[in-house]
A and B are shown apart, each in its own frame.
Chain A
Amino acid sequence: MPSAAATLKPEIQFATLDQQGETAQLGIWVFLATETLFFGALIFTYYIYRMSYPEQIAHAAKDAVLWCGSVNIGLLLTSSLTMVLAINAAAQGRRRELVFWLVATVALGVIFLGVKGYEYYLDYKDHVVPAANYVEKPGEGPAGEMFWVFYFVATGLHAIHLSTGIGLVLYMLWRVSRGEITPAYYAPLEVVGLYWSFVDVVWLFLYPSIYLVGRS
């Protein structure tokens, strides 16, 4: 049993490890509030233009690849499940299970990025990439191009956040291997888990915004 866990003390500004862990969780929730506003502002621009040019946006959004978006929402929801199971395993000291669920979370995230990359390739072939090879299709008008700008900014930003999350989970795996995540103190893992689930939540709102428009 590595010695790191046995001698773990809180940092000087905290009285107990519990206080340190609870404070870390509050910290990440406050950060997630700023992320809500960040993506919320982006969705605000989408909302203004969809409200103002509903037919043009509907025409443009028909070309969004529904199966890619749907597979991806399934992958992310599953990854939130695997993440929470990992945290449970950490809290209960089941180390092999913890590693299994963390690896599963990373795998699901990587597959998401793969599907997204393939979807971008399909978008390129379909000439919906602004500034690259965009071709305005009938009924879209200029607002259609703005939809696609939103699409690439939103999914691109989301992918960056997801990649950061994958990096953080890999970092957690490294800390687990050094015995630094134990039932006595697993707050870093909870913090990463909260970030991960939030990235999932962002997709829950991007999905209907992008893929469920103009289908009827």
Chain B
Amino acid sequence: MSIATDVEPSFLESENTLASWLFTKDHKRIALLFFASITFFFFIGGFAATLIRLHLANPEGLLQPAMYNRMFTMHGIVMVWFFLIPSIPTTLGNFFIPMMIGAHDLAFPRVNLGSWYVFNLSGLVLLYALIMGGIDTGWTFYTPLSTNYASGYVFAAAMAVFVNGFSSIMTALNFVVTIHRLRAPGMTWMRLPLFVWGIYAVSLVMLTATPVLAMDTMLLAVERFLGVGMFDPTRGGDPILWQHMFWFYSHPAVYIMILPAMGMVSELITCYARRPIFGYAGMTMAMMAIAIVSFFVWAHHMFVAGISVYSAIVFSLLTFFVAVPSAIKVFNWTVSLHKGVISLDAPMLYALGFVLLFTIGGVTGLMVATLAVDVPVHDTYFVIAHFHYIMVGGTVSAFFGGLHYWWPKMTGRHYPELWARFAAILTFVGFNLTFFPQFILGYLGMPRRYYTYPAEWQPWNLLSSAGASILAVAYVLPLVYLGWSLLYGRRAEGNPWRATGLEWQTPSPPPKHNFETTPVVTTSPYAYNPEDGSYVTQDGTAYA
């Protein structure tokens, strides 16, 4: 492929002042700004996790009990709202949604930039709360502990979460409107790449769930601040009402964390197996079904909180339903590998890891959805293992897969492939070593959020902490070699993976407005032919 003289400089080079970054309207620059923010918070949350695992390696522990409580609270709040929820949408989503649909930018670029500033503002409020001494309520802020009894900076932390929600809403609003209104000619809904569907579905969930959390945290803050409110049982209030509204958001929130990852995995499996996705329509409907049905299951987090047993039965049944579309997706990803020509580049390793780890997480989800199982394992390490398999084994794997897949496009550089594969495998090993023992511990009865445990459980805890140390290395490695690649990596061409999406029909890195002229779409996504290695890009160009 000959190197054309690029008349237009790339988006990285077009302007170079600080102001051109801090006041940018370019969705690609905003994506990089978000990358910086969420990476920062990932390491803060990771620091807390490191201290937790160091502490739990030994029943005598390392931290004072009160400090331990602050650590797991900080870990949860930071990882949920300041890493997982924004991760894929604000970084890869912001960068690639306009490009994948053939648009020059998102519908509301200033709202996009505003979302970043609001996110950082909420981060500053949270950092204030943490530095001033933190809170110890757990990330779930249950009342009346959080409103009446907890010491610490509950009001500030609740306000941080409240403000953070606005960032979510702004981003999601942008995506929904953009995907509806700015698709290029010929880009029909059923020709959209599945990553776009994933971002669309997640945006619907963000828009409908977050406002309820906003109200719940506001009422919590009011009660905390004024000493009177709606959730004090000594004054006729119902603490479970707080939980109903909290989980009405927080259950869909876990689907906020997984839907973009699912979309990402579809991109990776098709490209690295050189095959169309099996059951495209089923995949789109599954993601929409997950988005909607996720709103019907929230009280499965409250089975032993004090809701009626009849309500618990209803929610248990509905929770079984929500597993079905996820299972359909796992079947389809697996079948999509059949007769493919599979290359085990790092992104594919992360994608395959996702499918296996998400499956384990999902199946154990069905286990805890079962009332009889949940009663003994609720609030034990079984639940912790379950959700870490999905959020870390799932979402973080997909995030790293997407990061590597699109790294050449975003930066114009190749990452070092051998190091990346090593990190991917190390992640998989370290992850399983960290979290599989926790299933066993939970089943044996080890409660979560306790600063100590009986000595006979130490071997499993030690195994878990050892795994965590491996995982830590696996997460730091990409920081090192990706950083290295920015300066010394081999320069990338437009389409190094020979992929079919519109985003690959641009130079690497892309120019400021993505496309010189709006592309016209004629082809469905993933038009790969595994038999002869040919493919057709979405704008209709065939390659041998």
Contact = CB atoms under 8 A, between A and B. Distances in A.
Direct contact of A and B (CB under 8 A): yes
Interface of A: 11-15, 19, 22-23, 26-27, 30-31, 33-42, 44-45, 48-49, 52-53, 56, 130-131, 134, 141-143, 145-146, 149-150, 153
Interface stretch (B194-202, B231-239, B421-429, B437-445): B231-239
B499 to A, nearest CB: 24
Task: Tell me the interface secondary structure of chain B in the complex.
Answer: helix
Contacts of B108: 27
Nearest to B233: A142
A161 B245 CA distance: 22
Given A12-B104, A27-B108, A145-B228, A41 B245 contact: yes
A149 B214 contact: no
B307 to A, nearest CB: 13
Interface in B77-122: 98, 103-109, 111
B177 interface: yes
A27 B226 contact: no
Nearest to B226: A131
A145 B228 CA distance: 8
B152 interface: no
A48 B230 CA distance: 11
A45 B222 contact: no
20 contacts: A12-B105, A13-B103, A13-B105, A13-B107, A23-B107, A27-B108, A27-B177, A34-B207, A34-B210, A42-B219, A45-B219, A48-B238, A49-B230, A131-B227, A131-B228, A141-B236, A143-B236, A145-B228, A149-B226, A149-B230
A136 B179 CA distance: 53
Given A27-B107, A142-B237, A150-B230, 15 more contacts: A13-B105, A13-B182, A33-B207, A34-B208, A34-B210, A36-B211, A37-B211, A41-B211, A49-B230, A49-B236, A134-B228, A143-B236, A146-B236, A146-B237, A153-B222
Contacts of B212: 37-38, 41
Most B CB contacts (10 A, CB to CB) among A42, A53, A143 go to: A42
A35 B237 CA distance: 25
B252 to A, nearest CB: 12
A28 B19 CA distance: 29
Interface string B133-169: 0000000000000000000000000000000000001
Contacts of B236: 49, 53, 56, 141-143, 146
Interface of B: 98, 103-109, 111, 169, 173, 176-177, 180-182, 207-208, 210-212, 214-216, 218-219, 222, 226-230, 235-238, 241, 245, 248, 513, 518
Contacts of A40: 211
List the 9 closest A-B pairs by CB distance, nearest first.
Answer: A142-B236, A131-B226, A37-B211, A41-B215, A38-B211, A142-B235, A13-B105, A41-B212, A130-B228
A35 B245 CA distance: 16
A44 B245 contact: yes
Could you say which of A13, A53, A141 has the most chain B C-beta atoms within 10 Å of its C-beta?
A: A13
A5 B219 CA distance: 45
B106 A149 contact: no
Contacts of A26: 177, 180-181
Nearest to B206: A34
A177 B212 CA distance: 39
A107 B466 CA distance: 67
A48 B107 CA distance: 39
Contacts of A53: 236
Most B Cβ at <10 Å: residue of A22, A134, A146: A146
Contacts of B226: 130-131, 149
B105 A31 contact: no
B518 to A, nearest CB: 8
Contacts of A11: 105, 109
Nearest to B106: A13
B218 A153 contact: yes
Contact of B229 (A27, A37, A149): A149
Contacts of B237: 142, 146
A14 B105 CA distance: 9
A27 B175 CA distance: 10
Contacts of B216: 41
A12 B177 contact: no
Nearest to A143: B236
A201 to B, nearest CB: 15
B181 A19 contact: yes
Of residues B104, B215, B235, which shows the largest number of chain A Cβ atoms within 10 Å of its Cβ? Answer: B215
Give the residue among B176, B177, B210, B216 with the most A Cβ atoms within 10 A.
B177
A44 to B, nearest CB: 7
Given A42-B215, A53-B236, A37 B208 contact: yes
A186 to B, nearest CB: 18
B242 to A, nearest CB: 9
A13 B229 contact: no
B235 A23 contact: no
Nearest to A20: B107
B162 to A, nearest CB: 11
Contacts of A13: 98, 103-107, 109, 182
Contact of B214 (A19, A38, A131): A38
